[in-house]
Chain A
């Protein structure tokens, strides 16, 4: 079946550095991908909607200059956490929309645990 690959699964970085997370649709083209964040013991929260070839749409309260999203191809979206700080430590997960073959499904990556020291 369709698979979404998210990399890395875990990353530890120093405060002030930038971290890039990749989300790839492996066997379908995804014009739309979604990025979520989950703090410990809280819900998965939608951060932004990533559209291939255009600017991402950010949810209220999410800093677009802090969380840079690039969706340059139909199979890859990246989330870059710029100048990361300890409060950015969280679980980030992407999903990709598959509209192929007359169906419409949403597939999730396995998530990235970011720890900022």
Chain B
């Protein structure tokens, strides 16, 4: 069965500092991996996804993620965070590149930005 682990429940980062959110997955075949962000009162928004090709994926809002098969990881990064990045971030693994078939989510990481 597929599973996703986000080890960090809550992370606090200073505005302008770099960010890395960790995600580890377990999946029997080639994984389709996603990062979603949820701002308060908003729905989940897709930041980026990986399903093949270049292991470094660029997403929206300046985010990127790197797929490392040997470590079963798909960590999300941003070189310089903005106060508007404060939100809940979810890593997910799915059975298709569109993410519409039985997504399995991690528990989420809440990001707080301090001035």
Contacts and interface: CB of A to CB of B under 8 A. Distances in A.
Interface of A: 4, 6, 9, 32, 34, 36, 38, 41-46, 93, 95, 97, 104-111
Interface stretch (B40-48, B61-69, B73-81): B40-48
A111 B98 contact: no
Q: Summarize B's interface: helix, strand, loop or mixed.
A: loop
Contact of A97 (B45, B92, B100): B100
22 contacts: A34-B103, A41-B107, A42-B107, A43-B104, A43-B107, A44-B92, A44-B105, A44-B108, A46-B102, A46-B103, A46-B104, A93-B43, A95-B44, A105-B98, A106-B46, A106-B99, A106-B100, A108-B36, A108-B43, A108-B45, A110-B42, A111-B43
How many chain B residues sit at the interface, stated as a range, is 20 to 34
